[in-house]
Structure 1
């Protein structure tokens, strides 16, 4: 075997081992985070602060996204061709699509950019400025003080944001259908209520909860293991957005497959 082949095998082996090491570190971090979520003490003030930052301050962008999701579905349905009983079909499309798929998925992908990157940058900055080491010196568990509040807040807030997006999205579809395409108001409301499925609604909330956990754990992991100064913060933020988006799409497929 030539020296070139040996070097290639070494590079491939090194990359593979680094990949396995990162997977192992991520799994250990996830188990530690999960463990500390169920073991006191809890910093409830931090949890409340994160609920406000993640949830309340995200309501404007969630509402704006929800309105245009509903409006676009109605526009696409009405402009794509003549549908049989269009006034009956459009409310069904809007309700089922938003509640089951677009609501939780699109809101979570948007929240990756807003919340995930913010958490990764904040914790990453604390890491490179040695604030996390200072917490350990003060006998404060960094997982309890930094990681757990963000995970709990995300798991609590994401379903609530999804419900808001669902309602606002249905309202956006209603406004577009009634005022743009002159659909009958009573018919739209009637068929929206008729096609509202509680099972699909619960599945959507389950997806939102899973997506919130994915985003919070991923962002905390990359921020907590941030290195290389300011450049490392940028890498942690980018990695959070990319990995979280991929995991959200994968989790959405698996949950949909299970509940299909």
Structure 2
């Protein structure tokens, strides 16, 4: 309950826009962006190759070579790239937020901020949420591009599918609105990762052991929340009525 109250306070602070610490936002933009780009690109590239190998093997068997890129577009671009990116950000950035703020909480640095008439939500949490909400969509686009390159390479090297054929199939299946949906998912997932990580940090009690536990629970909670949110977003954005 205490953690939920903290999350509600964070959302109110974002909406009401209290004091904004722009230098803190820039600092966390670097953490959530360039500091996380290597694992995002690496995982996305290999995920794109793995997905293409698995789908192309079956589609080539049935002579549906031209549909390989389309299957890749529908599954990887719409769903897998945003989820993978958000999951990596949860493991790297969300856990860091939880451990940093948790360490400040158990060492009473949060109480010191109150004594200095500084709201810890505005000073510590809001800049992290803004940074994640801006960088996760950008990282998702980079992951998408890297995944497509991985898919093109796998299709060309293992199944002799021309890059032009693969990319044309991707273009035929993806619509301009899909890019907006991918960015929307990245924005929502970024907010979730930051809010969950910070709320676990703010509610940490005890010592070093509890700080580590908060970081772990923040990652697990973020992963579960990402998949649940993606399910409802997919129903809302892609599911067509049956009548």
* Residue aligning to 2:94: 116
* Residue aligning to 1:173: 151
Work out the CA distance in 1 between the residues paired with 2:106 and 2:157.
54
Give me the TM-score of the superposition, normalised by structure 1.
Answer: 0.86
Establish whether residue 221 from structure 1 lines up as the match of residue 221 from structure 2: no
Work out the CA distance in 2 between the residues paired with 1:167 and 1:203.
16
In structure 1, list runs of 5 or more residues that go unmatched.
1-21
Contact 1:74–1:90 (CA under 8 A) maintained in structure 2: yes
* Residue aligning to 1:202: 180
**Count of residue pairs the alignment pairs up:** 237
SS in 2 for 1:168: helix
Work out the CA distance in 2 between the residues paired with 1:106 and 1:150.
20
SS in 1 for 2:140: helix
Contact 1:83–1:89 (CA under 8 A) maintained in structure 2: no
Work out the CA distance in 1 between the residues paired with 2:210 and 2:197.
13
Measured after TM superposition, the shift of residue 234 of structure 1 is 1.6
Contact 1:70–1:98 (CA under 8 A) maintained in structure 2: yes
In structure 2, list runs of 5 or more residues that go unmatched.
none
Establish whether residue 77 from structure 1 lines up as the match of residue 60 from structure 2: no
SS in 2 for 1:35: helix
For 1:42-100, what per-residue CA distance to the aligned partner results, in whole angstroms no more than 9, with x for missing partners? 10010011011011111111111111111011110133464444431111111221221
- State which structure, 1 or 2, has the greater radius of gyration over its C-alpha atoms: 1
* Residue aligning to 1:148: 126
Work out the CA distance in 2 between the residues paired with 1:191 and 1:109.
28
Contact 2:106–2:204 (CA under 8 A) maintained in structure 1: yes
Establish whether residue 45 from structure 1 lines up as the match of residue 26 from structure 2: no
Work out the CA distance in 1 between the residues paired with 2:214 and 2:167.
46
Equivalent position to 1:240, from 218, 223, 235: 218
